[in-house]
Chain A
Amino acid sequence: MSDLERFRRETRAWLEANCPPDMRQPVVADEDRCWGGRRPTFKSEGQRLWLERMVARGWTVPEWPQQYGGGGLSREEGRILRAEMRRLGCRSPLDSFGIWMLAPVLFKYGNEEQRREHLPPIARGEIRWCQGYSEPNSGSDLASLATRAADNGDHFLVNGQKIWTSYADKADWIFCLVRTDEAAPKHLGISFILFDMTTPGVSTKPILLISGKSPFCETFFDNVRVPKRNLVGDINKGWEIAKYLLAHERETVSSVGLPAGRPLGQIAAETLGSQDGVLADACLRADIARFEIDAIAFQLALERSGDLLKAGQASPAVSSMVKFYSAELNQRRHELLMVAGGSAALEWEGERSRSGERARNWLRSKGNSIEGGTNEVQLNVIAKRILDLPGA
């Protein structure tokens, strides 16, 4: 038996023994996710245990080096672990902007002290991060951002406002884009800094979304003192870092892919019924089947882009393509779920609809083509960077 085979067997046995039963159920609502943090909320004891056990093995971040709280697994082992988790239907033990977005930046641009300070608590789910990019007047045109960080000797003095900051009210730290040179051209005066959300002068105000939930906030900075050692990379070189992070954000948004589980057609059959094994509503059935075709093809495209990357043949800006298409697919999926659910899917409150779960998820999916760079912006990137089409 090869080492990898042994690893697979042991991993399978360990997961079977240690993954609590309720952590093998598909994630349906955002509350099913575990985000960790200083004030973690666990939906169940199983969720807490699952995080604790995975943290102990470093398997919240299986491929990170052990000194930063990772599992130290090889790429192949990481792949096996994920495959075995999928096989058992294990949930992710920890969802984290720290893991998905900040860590790649720290590995590439951070100094050793910053890695040591921030990576282990991220791996253990002890510190929850939020992303301070967008501002009221700087969305797609992010580089026009105006939040200022003035040089005040040993620290920066930060003043300004961010908006759409996901989970800012629940986060412990923020990674934040700030303007450190107002005279320079807009891309050349931006820096990437980190600070604690409990620093005096930081305040957040939740924003209610169309889904009736408040996952994101307005975030205000009023004379916030940020130690200079919390600058990542060089001063005024933050735009490169910002873009690097966005590419990772796009990848994670989409590499999560579509929720596994039963084909949409079978879900629809529950409300609509079927005749001789064929869904009763012919139009919806065709729409669903066409969706499934695109969804399967997209999963294969994700797999292929991973293989191309490994073979050193990855096309540039592939993350834009993936982000764009996964947003479209997920929105189509939720539209179809609403159609399939009929009036039952319209109930907004109460047990029967699990507090309007389907409708709320449908509304939430509308953000997929806005968050992390809108679909129009992704198409701009594809047109310029892959297709090499001329500027206006």
Chain B
Amino acid sequence: MALILTEEQTMVRDSARAFLADKAPVAHLRKLRDSRDRVGFSRELWKAFAAMGFCGILVPEALGGSGLGHVEAGIIMAEIGRNLTPSPFLSTALVGATALLRDGNAARNRELLPKLAAGDLILTLAVDERAKHAPAATALTAERSGNGFKLTGDKCFVVDGHVADLFIVAARSAGAPGEREGVTLFLVDARAQGVAVERTVMVDAHNAARVRFDGVTVDADAVLGEIDRGWPLLEAALDVGRAALAAELAGLGEEAFGRTLSYLKARKQFGRPIGSFQALQHRAARVFVELEITQAAVLKALQTLDADFERAAAFVAVAKARAGTSATLAVQEAVQLHGGIGMTDEFDIGLFMKRARVAQELFGDDGFHADRLARLQNY
């Protein structure tokens, strides 16, 4: 498959680009942040996402979705990255929907997915338990109890956790933390007895929460995937999220770089544009090259998720790591090359740096994915 967008995909990009630039530019995030909005994103925007077919992007048409693929999802993520748009698109439409779709429980999906596609259900994965992403270290316990399980433990960095209707909780039903065997996924209602949610306002003014599960009881039919063998499903959902974040980071990096490039041409010192100084030209050229190469890696990961999902892990690791490092470089250079104004809250460039840091960390940073690639290649 050619590593470029098809005509249809280019159309998706153009319409997503126009839509997001119009409805949710950076000023939109700024307004939500400054007003300390309790939801942290705009419900109205989320409804508009549904109308555009974004919420159900991966959901089959028969269940009310758009029935599109990961490349299209990534295209939307890239535009979200350019505009720093906060929304439950990643948590719900991509990671959450993937877990349900790949679990494949027809009755459950008939109930939940149309709602999700309509923008009426927020669903998020609760996986991390400590400051660094380490899904195999899952320790939150799932004890058998009656015909179901009792969940006890703490989760953090749960994206959109403060407004989620449902959690997909990774729990330890057997084995020891560090082992892939013995992990089970559960679908848990946010209003269930024993669930306590604390919103954590993050550096990027996007949304996350710490969630405590204090002896929360669930039925056996709350299980997603297989009991004790939830790992493949967890990884599938995570990999879709990781590739999507890579696309977001790529879009974000390009936007931050584009703004920097304009500034280099406009800002004058010593009687000439600062972009005429070779020291800065070379720095800009390096950022450009890094971002270009990342584009290819991201598209490959998304295409592989569409064409050969089971074999996508290595490409996803490459894409997430590359996008993380190149976007980090882009935002660091962006702030530096803007000089003092780059340090001000009033100027937007710093917002890109903040979001890049969060997106780097989410679902594994470049170090995590370098380690993962090394393991996949047996060293």
Contact = CB atoms under 8 A, between A and B. Distances in A.
Interface-centre pick from A296, A321, A392 (highest chain B CB count, 10 A): A296
A243 interface: no
Given A307-B3, A390-B273, A294 B374 contact: no
Interface stretch (B179-187, B234-242, B287-295, B351-359): B287-295
Interface string A287-326: 0111011101110110110011011010100000100110
B264 A389 contact: yes
A390 B296 contact: no
Nearest to A285: B374
A241 interface: no
B222 interface: no
B281 A383 contact: yes
Given A300-B300, A307-B2, A382-B288, A293 B370 contact: yes
B178 interface: no
A291 to B, nearest CB: 9
A315 B291 CA distance: 14
A73 interface: no
Interface in A356-392: 376, 378-380, 382-384, 386-392
B276 A279 contact: no
Contacts of A290: 321, 325, 366, 370
Contacts of A268: 379
Per DSSP, chain A at the interface is helix
B379 A300 contact: no
A277 B379 contact: yes
B318 A321 contact: no
Contacts of A325: 289, 293
B265 interface: yes
Contacts, number: 140
Interface residues of A, number: 47
Interface string A257-282: 00000010110110000100111000
Nearest to A303: B3
A235 B289 CA distance: 37
B371 interface: yes
A183 to B, nearest CB: 31
A286 interface: yes
B297 to A, nearest CB: 4
A289 to B, nearest CB: 4
Contacts of A386: 285, 288
Interface in B145-167: none
A288 B282 CA distance: 26
Given A292-B373, A390-B275, A285 B281 contact: no
A289 B371 CA distance: 7
B261 interface: yes
A263 B276 contact: no
Per DSSP, chain B at the interface is helix
B299 interface: yes
B289 A382 contact: yes
Interface string B254-266: 0000000100110
B322 interface: yes
Interface-centre pick from A292, A293, A388 (highest chain B CB count, 10 A): A293
B293 to A, nearest CB: 4
A289 B297 CA distance: 15
B341 interface: no
A279 B377 CA distance: 11
B272 interface: yes
B281 A297 contact: no
Contacts of A379: 281-282, 285-286
Nearest to A286: B370
A293 B285 contact: no
Contacts of B13: none
Nearest to B377: A263
Interface-centre pick from A285, A303, A304 (highest chain B CB count, 10 A): A304
Nearest to A295: B318
A310 B288 contact: no
B74 to A, nearest CB: 14
A386 B379 CA distance: 39
Contact of A277 (B277, B282, B319, B375): B375
A307 B292 CA distance: 14
Nearest to A297: B297
A297 B289 contact: no
Nearest to A264: B379
Given A325-B289, A379-B282, A389 B374 contact: no
B284 interface: yes
A392 B325 CA distance: 30
Contact of A288 (B281, B284, B295, B379): B379
A386 B291 CA distance: 13
A183 B272 CA distance: 32
A374 to B, nearest CB: 12
B269 interface: no
Contacts of A308: 4
Interface string B359-379: 000000011011101110111
28 contacts: A265-B378, A266-B378, A268-B379, A278-B375, A279-B379, A285-B374, A286-B370, A290-B325, A292-B373, A292-B374, A297-B294, A297-B322, A300-B296, A301-B295, A303-B3, A304-B295, A307-B4, A311-B2, A324-B285, A325-B293, A378-B285, A383-B281, A387-B281, A389-B261, A389-B273, A389-B275, A390-B273, A392-B278
Interface of B: 2-4, 261, 264-265, 272-273, 275-278, 281-282, 284-286, 288-289, 292-297, 299-300, 314-315, 317-319, 321-322, 325, 366-367, 369-371, 373-375, 377-379
- Sort A-B residue pairs by CB-CB distance and give the 3 closest, nearest first: A265-B379, A383-B281, A289-B370
Interface of A: 263, 265-266, 268-269, 274, 277-279, 285-286, 288-290, 292-294, 296-298, 300-301, 303-304, 307-308, 310-311, 313, 315, 321, 324-325, 376, 378-380, 382-384, 386-392
Given A298-B293, A300-B300, A307-B4, 13 more contacts: A269-B379, A277-B379, A278-B379, A286-B370, A288-B379, A294-B293, A296-B315, A300-B3, A304-B296, A324-B289, A325-B289, A383-B285, A389-B264
